[in-house]
Structure 1
Amino acid sequence: MKIEKKNVLNRLKRAEGQLRGIQKMIEDEQECIDIVTQLTAVRSSINRTMGLVITNQITQALEDPSLNIEEQEKKLQQALELIIKK
C-alpha cells in the first residue's frame, strides 16, 4: 500500500489545508455561500479518500493468497460495511 498510502496522506493534507482556509474564511466573515462551497469540496475530497481506503482493503483481500476463503470473506464484509455506513 506504499503508493496508496502516499496518495491518501496527500489527499488528507490537502483537505487539512482546505479546512484551515475555511476557518480563515469564517474568521474574515466571508459569504456563507463561499464557505458552504468550500465545505462541500472538503466533504467530496474526504469521500473520495474513503473510497480509496476501502478499495485498497478489497484489493488486498482478493489478492492476498495467504488468506483463506473465510478470511477473504471477512475482509470483504468489513469493506462492504464501511461502504454502507458511508
Structure 2
Amino acid sequence: MAGQEETKKKIENRLKRSEGQIRGVLKMLEEDKSCRDVVIQLSAIRSSIDRAIGVIVAENLKECLAMEDMSAEEKDEKIKEAIELVVKK
C-alpha cells in the first residue's frame, strides 16, 4: 500500500507541474511570446502528461497481473487493454 501511495503522490506532483506549465503557456500567449517558445512548452507538457499516463497504466497493469484469481486469458486481455491505452493517441 505504501508503494501505491508513493506512486499516487508522484503522479499528482507531475500533474501539478503540468498545470503550472499550462498557466505559464497562457501567460506566454498574453505576452505575445513567439510561436516557437509556446510550442516548445506545449511539447514539454505533452511529454509530462504522457509519462503520467504510462505510470498509471503500468501500475494498474502490475496490480492486475499480481491477482492470483485472474485467468491467463483475463491477464492477456488486461495486457492488450494496457497496450491500447498507451499506444492510443
Task: Give the TM-score of the pair, scaled to structure 1.
Answer: 0.86
Q: Give the count of matched residue pairs.
A: 86
For the Cα contact (< 8 Å) 1:57–1:75, is it kept in 2? no
> What are the ranges of 5 or more consecutive residues in structure 2 without an aligned counterpart?
none
Instruction: State yes or no: 1:82 paired with 2:85.
Output: yes
Distance 1:9 1:27 in 2: 27
> What are the ranges of 5 or more consecutive residues in structure 1 without an aligned counterpart?
none
Instruction: State yes or no: 1:54 paired with 2:67.
Output: no
Write the mapping of 1:1-86 to structure 2, written as runs, cut at 5 A.
1-86=4-89
Deviation of 1:22 after TM superposition, in Å, equals 0.3
Mean alpha-carbon deviation: is it higher for 11-20 or for 46-55?
46-55
Task: Give the TM-score of the pair, scaled to structure 2.
Answer: 0.84
Aligned identity (percent) is 42
Matched to 1:4, the amino acid is: T
Quote the RMSD (CA, aligned, Å). 1.4
